[in-house]
Chain A
């Protein structure tokens, strides 16, 4: 039986205390072309039922891949037993959670006829052929299609319910060339958006400009110089601002991290950033546009609301699940999400962004005598101290207000709140990325966005 056909409301009489009952299926697809060969042609469908029960301040959880009536009944019973076990050992009768009662349905599946595997592989091959015919200096190339659909149906004992399908499709391209020492030099790009393959990849028209830009930068990178390590004036390009918002600030202000000792616990309602900085974790919509990871109802049955983290430089709030909202006595934000049916919901970001300012990128470059323009992030990490780092695979020197030579791969770091206080210009553009996959205990698709930002960071290097 499909998730859409199962009525979860009929299990409500099986709930003996606060309970979340969730049907959840992830459908993913991966096709990899390595130098033209199809080295992976795979699909994965993983789903089932989970129940989470709150009793005396503790949680019981259970899951089962079988979504039959008996299995759903059994899963509720198992989760209830688990909660009872803990409540007997260490429960607190006075423990409570904030109430919520919300409903939301959404479906970002395509309405078009689904493409066949042959058509998708043919499209990836067309991309591969374009690389071969147009980019003579490329010695190795990889083209990867990655699609993920997440379908969730929820019923809580407080009456919240919803059926939501989120989708995203990405094509990641990695190009490798060789420098004059015959050493490999690589650069990669993820192209894609919210939506299923059929809605995202309609023609080569949207792919070719991105590939041409990637190759031009790869050629620049062949001649790259090492960045000079140390603190520098930098412009973090708009494609870096999202990971900046996510890694540098976002994680530090997730309420479970705050509760565990993050420095943000000491900064609420204090000035933590330049007046130019406003940072928001958007639930689903920005200026009328649906965002990369639109969440309307979280996995605790809470309506997803925008969480304003920093407003005009002042730390205003955190992102919450029910546990943390209860602990801090703050309003719910609807940030609780689980990646798989076997997972419990955690505080997770949705679409985290620094809001745009009024400067142009050209003005910002012109304002720096000696520094760097940094673009194209790789991985990143945050810390409870608000110290952050992320990898940068492309960048340019700035000398006397003009772009200079490309720089080789580096890592940038800093203390987030120091870095935010040093922001002196914010660009007037707003770029959203759909390619983020956060790794806090469970993987989770996230959206990220922002403008270019001028600040100071530490650049690693020799």
Chain B
């Protein structure tokens, strides 16, 4: 991937304008995005899109008063107007000594992925997916299939002599589908992944084919026999819905507000020792990562939960300054959950009565972690076998307890580009 210095020149020019307007500390990020998208709906390829986008994000701090602004026009007049507005916004704000910008770091250039899209290959992969689905799963309706080539060149600079240039191009693939047989309809399902190439047919990527097959089975569903407390196997497709409570409650908002149930749990056991979670934004295996945090720090990989023990909060520089705790070495995301020692089939085989959940349609958990929601595209498990797809089944529990109640993790993991996740089995779930 080549580096174009256009964004760097614009960022440096904007930074000078911020300094000249009187800011003590300032930062600027300039990004140039390209998007090339091919989309099919209802098994017909029907949209080809090319978007070009620029973005200038400006941050200024004066007398401990901070403001930020984002614009997408790069002419001098627009940038100068934005700097003037930013000055007025900061002047009108309240001082807070926790506001700061990233300290001096060595100038770096990062790049990854591919430079140009291959339109014909994009078309062929989408077309091939339509044909495969139509031939193998006649009940299936591919509601949408999309392949997007997305490229971003970016440069971050600040007045502490930080300069990071980045360049990444990748493909993002998404599909959504449901099945229909007569008047029987399955729930909608969707999945997606990102990668640096399109070498693999879509139906062979991650667990796409398994989901397509399950969708056709799910046109006819049954109620579970009755309310029960049992186990639940969480598919990688919705695992982040259940890990999200922990990962969301260790960030700036909840920790600064003091409302997180994990606020006093650093270096304590918050999950079963089977669970280890890393955030790996700088990992060639994860195409959805990043090299630089939003507040201008070079990102590094980190362990968030190590054998059940919470090893770090996900605090930004502001959050760290505000709480006196350590800044995280990244901004979260790119999560990798360590695989376990049980094959997926054995995980299912070990369940006496439970649910395999593939999509969770739930209300936001409250601050205590209580949750309830609908198990969509899911199965009733009885005596170690997937008995039948289910309808109108609510699962409920507590997210804090759920982490402690992990009873198994699969060997197999799926790489979505944005995360690498296994199947996770938990106990103590109420299904009704």
A61 touches B49 (CB 8 A): yes
Closest to A82 in B: B48
Interchain Cβ contacts within 8 Å, total number:
235
Number of interface residues of A (CB under 8 A): 80
CB distance from B47 to the nearest CB of A (A): 5
Interface residues of A in 373-409 (CB under 8 A from B): 378-379, 381, 383-385, 387, 389-393, 408-409
A461 touches B396 (CB 8 A): yes
B367 touches A392 (CB 8 A): no
Instruction: Taking A44-B69, A121-B92, A379-B364 as given, write out 13 further A-B residue pairs in contact, using a Cβ cutoff of 8 Å, ordered by the A residue number.
Output: A34-B256, A38-B66, A41-B93, A58-B47, A62-B51, A64-B52, A82-B48, A260-B41, A260-B42, A344-B49, A389-B363, A389-B373, A390-B363
B48 touches A58 (CB 8 A): yes
In the bound assembly, the distance between CA atoms of A185 and B141 in angstroms comes to 43
B45 touches A86 (CB 8 A): yes
Asked whether A140 and B35 contact (CB < 8 A) given A89-B45, A117-B89, A261-B185, the answer is no
Interface presence of A259 (CB below 8 A):
yes
A186 touches B362 (CB 8 A): no
Interface presence of B186 (CB below 8 A):
yes
Interface presence of A155 (CB below 8 A):
no
Which of B70, B98, B259, B372 contacts A411 (CB under 8 A)?
Answer: B372
Please give, as numbers and ranges, the residues of chain B lying within 8 Å of A37 by CB-CB distance.
94, 96, 98, 322
Q: Which of A256, A261, A392 has the most CB of B within 10 A?
A: A261
Closest to B377 in A: A383
Which of A60, A62, A392 contacts B363 (CB under 8 A)?
Answer: A392
B394 touches A82 (CB 8 A): no
Asked whether A42 and B363 contact (CB < 8 A) given A58-B45, A86-B45, A263-B185, the answer is no
Interface 1/0s, chain B 188-221, versus A by CB < 8 A?
1000000000000000000000000000000000
Please give, as numbers and ranges, the residues of chain B lying within 8 Å of A186 by CB-CB distance.
259, 366-367
In the bound assembly, the distance between CA atoms of A159 and B51 in angstroms comes to 25
Interface residues of B in 131-158 (CB under 8 A from A): 141, 143
In the bound assembly, the distance between CA atoms of A46 and B74 in angstroms comes to 12
Please give, as numbers and ranges, the residues of chain A lying within 8 Å of B68 by CB-CB distance.
40-43
B residues in contact (CB < 8 Å) with A: 35, 41-42, 44-55, 66-73, 82, 85, 88-94, 96, 98, 119, 123, 127, 141, 143, 178-180, 183, 185-188, 227, 252-253, 256-259, 261, 318, 322, 361-368, 370-374, 376, 391-392, 394, 396, 430, 432
B187 touches A86 (CB 8 A): no
B394 touches A411 (CB 8 A): yes
Closest to A25 in B: B72
B361 touches A389 (CB 8 A): yes
In the bound assembly, the distance between CA atoms of A82 and B376 in angstroms comes to 37
Which of A59, A125, A176 contacts B48 (CB under 8 A)?
Answer: A59
B92 touches A117 (CB 8 A): yes
In the bound assembly, the distance between CA atoms of A410 and B366 in angstroms comes to 9
Interface presence of A342 (CB below 8 A):
yes
Which of A90, A140, A184, A344 contacts B368 (CB under 8 A)?
Answer: A184
In the bound assembly, the distance between CA atoms of A66 and B72 in angstroms comes to 9
CB distance from B175 to the nearest CB of A (A): 12
A391 touches B47 (CB 8 A): no
A45 touches B93 (CB 8 A): no
Please give, as numbers and ranges, the residues of chain A lying within 8 Å of B396 by CB-CB distance.
229, 411, 460-462
Interface presence of A230 (CB below 8 A):
yes
B257 touches A142 (CB 8 A): yes
Asked whether A61 and B394 contact (CB < 8 A) given A38-B94, A184-B261, A385-B185, the answer is no
Which of A90, A183, A256 contacts B44 (CB under 8 A)?
Answer: A90
In the bound assembly, the distance between CA atoms of A460 and B396 in angstroms comes to 7
A409 touches B363 (CB 8 A): yes
Interface presence of A351 (CB below 8 A):
no
Q: Would you mind naming 19 contact pairs between A and B with Cβ atoms under 8 Å apart?
A: A42-B69, A43-B68, A44-B69, A46-B71, A48-B72, A57-B44, A61-B49, A62-B50, A90-B44, A117-B89, A140-B257, A185-B367, A229-B432, A384-B187, A389-B374, A409-B370, A411-B363, A460-B432, A462-B430
